[in-house]
Amino acid sequence: MTDTTHCTTAIILAAGLGTRMKSSLPKALHRLGNQPMINHLITTARQVFDDVVVVTGPDMPELEQAVRPFRTATQTQRLGTAHAANAARDLFGDGDIAVLYADNPLITAETMERLLAARRQGASLALLGMRPAVPGRYGRIIEDHGKVVKIVEFKDASEDERGITLCNAGVMCAGAEDFRNWLEEVRNENAQGEYYLTDVVEMAAKAGSVVCVEAPEDELAGVNSRSELARAEATLQTRLRNAAMDAGVTLVAPDTVFFSTDTVLEADVTVEPNVFFGPGVTVHSGALIRAFSHLEGCTVGEGAMIGPYARLRPGTVCAAHTHVGNFVELKNVELGEGAKANHLTYLGDASVGRGTNVGAGTITCNYDGVFKHRTVIGERVFVGSDAILVAPVTIGDDALVAAGSVITDDVPAGDLALGRTRQTLKSGRGLQIKQSLKARKEQG
């Protein structure tokens, strides 16, 4: 367990149901970059704060599982943001705390650092603000001669107050003991009958000074609906694409490439248009990912060429200088150095040796309806087109599998395997059949 004495703590409020999402899934678990929103925030907060505590709602086992091993507190009734923060008061520790929101997942570590620095420079409380193009229903930050005096929620704001462009992002930072004291004083005398965390701003202003740290709208905008989730995804993808290009990756058409947050592309990787990177992908230097390919849970070696229209599924490792061509699907496959599967092929639960060529239309039959079985193909093997390899089966080094063969038994090294019926010729019969078909066509 984390020692909370004088450490900094991020308290993440995540009890919201996300009613506007029209979903049975807790709002904090909706995904950005193939990762739950809250995990983005936890990852960033851990770069700045010593500890993280997540406030969940009742009956949210999926959320509690997603945030492990971090500690959680439960808001048993949803009575407002101050009520939610108060649920975690025993986990504040003795240092500074920051209250964050799971539906603000894109706050950067730099902005969190600036918030913490503003607090440490002597402010009773530091908060984050923004100036959105459309202020909408955000709470307004009320200042007097450059000092923050209070925050007014949109529902309670006057017309003049609604005209203010500086909006509250919800995030604030103060000493743990001060926060505890302020939370005890918050009342629910407002239009919603809720306990607003924003009420502590006025208390902090009376006790000392409150400073506002401004950050860009796209970093602080909340996610409360599917359309806002899509906008946040667009912001995140722009960040990930820029980071990849800054690291030496060529994106031929950046706006068409979709990344997961854990995608790793080394320098000198080239990615053509319309490529999707699911979770768990690593691509090494010099590899080319061609257009319309889909990669997930896989590793691509140096100088490899994948696609176009290739699908790499979880467990696949393509070694250096391998080729995976159009309409080829690999699932849980080890493709040895220089091996090729260039056309219209499915390989599942297989090992393919160095320098092996797998012909067009080849299939490993890895599933018997109950169990999965593995196919082992050795080095320098040539597998002819339309071969069917019925697992479990092993093809030895330097073997040759004839096109159209169905292979059900192991093939020793260096052997030729023919698993097809013998060709039969019927003299003149082909011409007779054609003539018969033409006559039937003419007769209607």
- Which segments are annotated as binding site for UDP-N-acetyl-alpha-D-glucosamine? 13-16, 27, 75, 80-81, 139, 153, 168, 224, 313, 331, 346, 357
Q: Which residues are annotated as a binding site?
A: 13-16, 27, 75, 80-81, 103, 139, 153, 168, 224, 313, 331, 346, 357, 360, 366-367, 385, 403, 420
Instruction: Give the integer Cα–Cα distance in Å for 279 and 35.
Output: 8
User: What DSSP line would sit under 278-299, residue for residue?
Assistant: -SS-EE-TT-EE-TT-EE-SEE
> How many CB atoms are closer than 10 A to CB 311?
21
Secondary structure class of 106 (helix, strand, coil): coil
236 membership: H or E segment, kind and range:
helix 226-246
Helices (H), ranges, 165-209: 176-185, 199-207
Six token digits for residue 71? 């500690």
Six token digits for residue 282? 């690593």
Q: Which residues are annotated as a binding site for Mg(2+)?
A: 103, 224
Is there a contact between 301 and 281 (Cβ–Cβ < 8 Å)?
no
Q: Which residues are annotated as a binding site for acetyl-CoA?
A: 360, 366-367, 385, 403, 420
Question: Which residue type, as a one-letter code, is found at position 219?
Answer: E
Secondary structure class of 334 (helix, strand, coil): strand
**Rg of the chain's alpha carbons, rounded to an integer?**
30
Is there a contact between 292 and 277 (Cβ–Cβ < 8 Å)?
no
The interaxial angle of helices 37-45 and 109-120, nearest 10 deg, is: 50
Six token digits for residue 70? 């971090």
On the 0-12 / 13-18 / 19+ scale of CB atoms within 10 A, 275 is buried
> How many CB atoms are closer than 10 A to CB 434?
10
Of the candidates 215, 289, 284, 221, the one whose C-alpha atom is nearest the C-alpha of residue 258 is 289
Question: Which positions are annotated as active-site residues?
Answer: 343
Instruction: Give the integer Cα–Cα distance in Å for 386 and 89.
Output: 66
